[in-house]
Structure 1
């Protein structure tokens, strides 16, 4: 048990974990996240894709082993903090309030001031300087008739390193909260329609939102080169049949509602409807039919029904094509691809009908990245605290001075010594200024 405790209390373990996390983060940066399976197979081959899939590198930051590494680091920081905190508390606390001449003379930073003033007057002058320079003083009762004081400032700077630990724990906790309770996925909404289903990246899970998002209008503008210049989605959040929030979103200007962010990610074109002409093989009767996308339509004067189920911009090099199914009630449906630009194509057949396409109506869809990260505010608080804690760690120090005044013949002698947790050269200059000011006050008195 002690070995396990010592392992988790080891700084070496912290360094190793940080190096592993840094190295694995390179994989998460080099290997694209949340691609489609065929994209990984095209770029890395079948074997490479199997390796990537085995180690969950398609969504690495949500993988079990990455979460395990962060959890171990959290435990490591907690144990390190709990092990070292009592020692720091002991150093901060003045456990031995002795101001002996021998102790002062053993310290590296020390000085002595001889004065012609009596002990009481020289001590009063020295104490006045000490009080102005140090906010915290501790008067020490001496048994030999001398005077003593221990003064300090910056005592809490010793806890700055624990603030660093705590801020890192907050960042890791926020990341774990987001990893376990949040999600990152996408949602496509046709212009004029609404949706509440999010498909997550990586594992491709379906998440049903407790509200619906409607895209009333999608607008895209282009450069002269044909590249998209700007695209805007007019979104409305609908809950219990009422619009609770509305916003025009564009790239880097998302809509946020109920802790969920909707980012403008991409756009595309979907089929809205198609007008087709049916010619009966036997009778030669012509029927004009409008097929809304993915809606069942009855064929006038027959028992047949049709549904436009799919659309391809380029079907095997023959241009746009419609995927249409035909069926009767209580019968298995059949279907075929109908070429839009080749009305005389012999394959444009559905059941008893020859099919030609009169027109196709398309509409834009907006592609949204949908993200929920409940831990993001915890991460931001941790980052802010980390910046403050690092500044305190590097630019503040715990400084103490021991002052002893004793009577001599004639006058009195003031002995001083000092110590600091870091920045020794700066403290030495501060100590010299303190001694100089005490000398001046003693001589002026």
Structure 2
């Protein structure tokens, strides 16, 4: 190997060590974690995956929110789809790299050191322990028995003892790091392969997912193409005072031939799940009205959402009462309870009619057959959710494991002296009580043996 090649590999090796040292820095991990938290909050506060018109209406340039956050800034930074932006995913990858570096440079060496048998063979070694004592005499066998009762794992070599327990407390941080890496992997996988869609579908209509609002770069295989959803019925339950209590959609999953594969009645907080795609009940509307003029065939007219004074929802349509469309009336309804208001061309209320009833307007009999509702569905697929949930479960387990104290006890019998000492990484008071209890029992055992010896000698002298 030439001198130039050796120098090159030396530079690469030094660069790797420095990079790993920077990634393993706790301060960097804290900064990245705070950044993830801040941007996650922004993704919760700012509506994600909405239309351009929505952001223009809710985040105008004048006045801009906080003086700078307009719809242009929001779209430029990608705050309308935070979790799929390149910079947010980069932060996740960098945080995952930091966790990995910390795990291999700190946690694994700490676990390896904790598992290593380390005997104290000199009395001066006990002086560096926070808790240690010297007895005039003692028995290694008795100490081994007492430590075993306290669930210590005891190792003995000659006149020395090393005992430990709570090694799971050293494994806990590694489990925590692994769980966070799983959560990050699930979040990235979901961002890359998931999608979000919205559909407003009238009752009786079969639809496929088309209105995609937000999707990852690898989301295409998740969008269903070999099955569709049929809206069997949509209805609303009202309270006695006329307010909406709950709205429901009876949905059927059907294949290309129309065969039913699954069926579920959904409402708010009770979605339909099929092949990793979830259908949530989020909105409703009035799709149309079925009317009959005199003895004409029944025909369905679409109803459009209109702006109402003072807010609220109202839907309306135009019904021609002459074949040449020279005259007609307007039908308005605020809900699906079946009451419609009839207005003439001058905007005057001329009648009120309910479903199944008829009224005379412009010389014709107008009969309302039915008001057709439409269900508003939010459709979501996130293949990363199982990984995220598994990661959170493992995280809780790792946190519990991390609270287990890792305690170590050393003992050395040297001539007439018996040295005992120990240390723990947490719950110091409990550990001290445990060691004092062991010492008390060890002392009691020594006195019992001494008394027994006196009795034996007395018996021999008789």
State TM-score, norm by structure 1: 0.77
Per-residue deviation at 1:370?
A: 1.3
- Tell me what 2:6 maps to: none
Distance 1:46 1:290, change over 3 A: farther
**Displacement after TM superposition at 1:378 (Å):** 1.4
Residue from 400, 421, 434 that aligns with 1:417: 421
Report what 1:6 is aligned to: 21
Partner of 1:433 in structure 2?
A: 437
- State yes or no: 1:97 paired with 2:119: yes
Contact 1:260 1:370 in 2 (8 A): yes
Q: Distance in 2 between matches of 1:194 and 1:220?
A: 20
Take 1:214 and 1:371, find their aligned partners in 2: how far apart are those partners? Answer: 17
Unmatched segments (≥5 aa) in structure 1: 142-146, 278-286, 294-309, 325-335, 346-355
Name the SS for the 2:34 alignment partner: helix
Three-state SS of the structure 1 residue aligned to 2:80 is helix
Superposed displacement of residue 289, structure 1: 6.6
CA contact (8 A) 1:314 1:321 kept: no
Residues 209 and 225 (structure 1), Cα distance of their counterparts in 2 relative to 1, 3 Å cut:
farther
- Give the deviation of 1:93 after TM superposition: 3.2
Could you say which residue in structure 2 is the equivalent of 1:165? 177
CA distance in 2, matches of 1:94, 1:366: 64
- Relative distance call for 1:358 and 1:129 in structure 2 (3 A) is same
Structure 1 window deviating more from structure 2 (27-36 vs 131-140): it is 27-36
1:83 match: secondary structure? helix
Moved more, 365-374 or 194-203: 194-203
- Residue 14 to residue 315, structure 1, CA distance change in 2 (3 Å): closer
Q: Is the 8 A contact 1:273 1:362 kept in 2?
A: yes
Residues 210 and 440 of structure 1: is their aligned pair in 2 closer, same or farther, counting only changes over 3 Å? Answer: farther
| Counterpart pick for 1:386 among 381, 392, 395 | 395
1:270 alignment partner in structure 2: 287
| Alignment correspondent of 2:239 | 223
* Rounded Cα–Cα distance in structure 2 between residues aligned with 1:156 and 1:402: 19
Is residue 2:71 matched to residue 1:55?
A: no
Residue in 2 that maps onto 1:403: 411
State whether residues 320 and 339 of structure 1, in contact with CA within 8 Å, keep that contact through their aligned partners in structure 2.
no
Once residues 337 and 7 of structure 1 are traced to their aligned partners in structure 2, the CA distance between those partners, rounded to angstroms, is 79
Q: 2:196–2:214: 8 Å Cα contact kept in structure 1?
A: no
Q: C-alpha offsets along residues 17-40 of structure 1, whole Å, 9 cap, x if unaligned?
A: 112122223322332233332232
Give the 3 Å change call, closer, same or farther, for CA 134–343 of structure 1 in structure 2: closer
State how far apart, in whole Å, the 2-side matches of 1:416 and 1:428 are: 12
Aligned to 1:23: 38
Cα 1:273–1:338, aligned 2, differ >3 Å: closer, same or farther?
Answer: farther
Q: Is the 8 A contact 2:411 2:420 kept in 1?
A: yes
Q: What do the CA deviations read for 1:17-67 (whole angstroms, capped 9, x no partner)? A: 112122223322332233332232222214711111111212222222222
Residues 134 and 288 (structure 1 numbering): CA distance in 2 closer, same or farther, change over 3 Å?
closer
Q: Which has the higher strand share?
A: 1
Provide the C-alpha distance between the structure 1 equivalents of 2:186 and 2:326, rounded to a whole number of angstroms. 50
Partner of 1:367: 376
Answer 1 or 2: higher relative contact order, Cα 8 Å, separation at least 6: 1
**1:134-160 deviations in whole A, cap 9, x for unaligned?**
43111113xxxxx21111101231121
Give the C-alpha shift of residue 338 in structure 1: 8.8
Distance in 1, matches of 2:174 and 2:110, equals: 10
| Unaligned segments of structure 2, at least 5 residues | 1-14, 63-69, 331-342, 347-363, 450-462
Residues 362-401 of structure 1, C-alpha deviations (whole Å, 9 max, x = no match): 41111111111111121111112212211222x3121111
Conserved? CA contact 1:321–1:338, under 8 Å: no
Contact 1:189 1:214 in 2 (8 A): no
Q: Of 273, 289, 303, which residue of structure 2 is paired with 1:256?
A: 273
Change (3 A) 1:311 1:248: closer
Matched, 1:124 2:146: no
In structure 1, the residue matched to 2:253 is 237
Aligned CA RMSD, in angstroms, stands at: 3.3
Query: Take 1:316 and 1:227, find their aligned partners in 2: how far apart are those partners?
Result: 17
In structure 2, the residue corresponding to 1:129 is in which secondary structure?
helix
Report the Cα offset of residue 223 of structure 1.
Answer: 2.3
